[in-house]
Amino acid sequence: MHTSFLKRAPLFALSLFITLFSFGQPSPAMDTDEDMPKDYLPKEFHAGRRAALREAMPDNSVIVVMAYPTRTFSNDVEYKYHPNPDMYYFSGYKEPHSLLLVFKTEQTDSAGNKYSEILFVQKKNAAAEQWTGKRLGLEGSKTKLGIAMSFNGEDFSNFSVDFSKFDKIIFDRFPVDIPNGRDKADLYDLLQQFKQKAAIPEDYSKEKRFDNRSYREITAKLREIKTPEEMTLIRKAVEISCQGQNEVMKAVRPDMSEMEIQGLHEFVHKKYGAEGVGYGSIIGSGENGCTLHYEENTKTKIGSSMLLMDVGAEYHGYTADVTRTIPAGGKFGEAEKVIYQLVYDAQEAAFKTLKDGSKWADAEKAARDVITDGLVRLGIAKDKAEANKYYPHGLGHHIGMDVHDRGTYSNLKKDMVITIEPGIYIPSNSNCEKKWWGIAVRIEDDARVTEDGYELLSHFAPRKIEDIEKMISQKSALDDFKLPALKSASPEKKAF
């Protein structure tokens, strides 16, 4: 007699989970230091950032950093967890359900211990860790992150912190988390307990003691200036992203799909050890490039028109943001060349303004003037307002732990890392000659502001028309990569 499907289902689910999770997790025997990357941010980096935070905090204040919530992807499956960059920046802790308190001045507990920060972490739990991976736990937090006052999240409810003595309690907007009945120390519980301990009213916006405006200001001023340790990781993320662009330029063929191009970029990133991407990869062929954050990437043949690729590798928590727009057929057409050159010139004009002390607005204006003048000269736009429709976004932003990283956006300062990314997007049926329709070009580079100029971090991928065409003409290792045709019925049944 055979077992019914219903009886087998739990067994099937179990084996599926074992398959899904056991292959992704290193077994204890494998988990030696030699198997792990050696270039994570050291605990001294995070300690240094907390010291800088204390320096920037107002007198008699405490700042509370909250983890990001986890999110459901599918039944029994969660989205890959991305830590709140502030939690990672100030502590190095990368797991959910955690809370960090940083005090302006040293505190003393009832046993006479002195401390300036407290971290509440996920408790070690062998059963949970068998499914979803190892937790750092209390001891790991003390030894690996160097935070002596680390506690399990479940200890927060009985932990005595006298919030009433602080003139300012500084925190970001509360993340929305849903209660999880099984876990009594998840993020939801930690937030409830914090609100209760600090007596934070429902509408706290009118009370000056509860301050989430200065949270963003203080953290922006710190995070917008990159330290040498951060620069090492950003440089790597950017170079990896450029190598992804280069490999795709060499491998690209008009019969490829947008998804396949995305896969090539992300394969190269992972080959170099980048854990993921800092945002959804944007692979827009032809008119799809006009959708600024086009992430569907569903077109099955890119054809030989322009291909806009905005892809950023995330390496140890830092993301690049690099866009190249290339002729998928190998050579730029005449109209494509004209638009591309205009965007290139706008980018160059913006670069020229960059240096310590210059203004974002100056770079913005320099690029926009070139594009406006060019579009009017070409008869594509009649005036500035119409030109702006073809260039509907800002010139750039900070990058770092977030792709749109926190920053004050006034004066540029040495060691800020920013994107410069002008673009022109001309959808079909635009009010201009038909030869321009469907052309979308963005060129996006990552630059570090220096004392007297800038350092182009993304110089590894070509930007000039002739250099791009030359890169496309090169042979690729992927030219000979063939997969068998699928046997199951499909309209796309073909050899690759």
Binding stretches for ligand GLY (CB under 6 A): 279, 310, 321, 403, 421, 444
Nearest to ligand GLY of 186, 444 (CB atom) = 444
For the bound state, the minimum distance from the C-beta of residue 2 to Mn ion, rounded and expressed in Å, comes to 54
Residue 446 in contact with Mn ion, rule: CB under 5 A: no
Residue nearest ligand GLY by beta-carbon distance: 310
Residue 279 binds which entry of ligand GLY, Mn ion, none, CB below 5-8 Å type-dependent = ligand GLY
Nearest to Mn ion of 46, 397 (CB atom) = 397
Query: Cβ-count burial of 353 within 10 angstroms (0-12 exposed, 13-18 middle, 19+ buried)?
Result: buried
Q: Is 7 helix (H, G, I), strand (E, B) or coil?
A: helix
For the bound state, the minimum distance from the C-beta of residue 396 to Mn ion, rounded and expressed in Å, comes to 6
Distance CA 14, CA 482 (A): 35
Strands 99-108 and 114-121: antiparallel
Amino acid found at 454: Y
Nearest to Mn ion of 121, 399 (CB atom) = 399
Nearest to ligand GLY of 239, 321 (CB atom) = 321
Q: Comparing C-alpha atoms, which of 306, 308, 373, 324 is closest to residue 346?
A: 373
Residue 310 in contact with Mn ion, rule: CB under 5 A: yes
Return the bridge partners of 250, or none: none
For the bound state, the minimum distance from the C-beta of residue 400 to Mn ion, rounded and expressed in Å, comes to 12
Nearest to ligand GLY of 272, 279 (CB atom) = 279
Residue 314 in contact with Mn ion, rule: CB under 5 A: no
Residue 419 in contact with Mn ion, rule: CB under 5 A: yes
For the bound state, the minimum distance from the C-beta of residue 280 to ligand GLY, rounded and expressed in Å, comes to 8
Tokens matching residue 154: 């479940």
**Contact 115/149 with Cβ under 8 angstroms?**
yes
Nearest to ligand GLY of 66, 282 (CB atom) = 282
Q: Comparing C-alpha atoms, which of 98, 81, 106 is closest to residue 140?
A: 98
Q: In degrees rounded to 5, what are phi and psi of residue 147?
A: -105, 100
For the bound state, the minimum distance from the C-beta of residue 96 to Mn ion, rounded and expressed in Å, comes to 27
For the bound state, the minimum distance from the C-beta of residue 387 to ligand GLY, rounded and expressed in Å, comes to 20
Residue 239 in contact with Mn ion, rule: CB under 5 A: no
Longest CA pairwise span in the chain (Å): 81
Residue 321 in contact with Mn ion, rule: CB under 5 A: yes
Give, as one character, the DSSP assignment of residue 165.
G
**Contact 308/351 with Cβ under 8 angstroms?**
no
Give me the residues that bind Mn ion (CB under 5 A), please: 310, 321, 419, 444
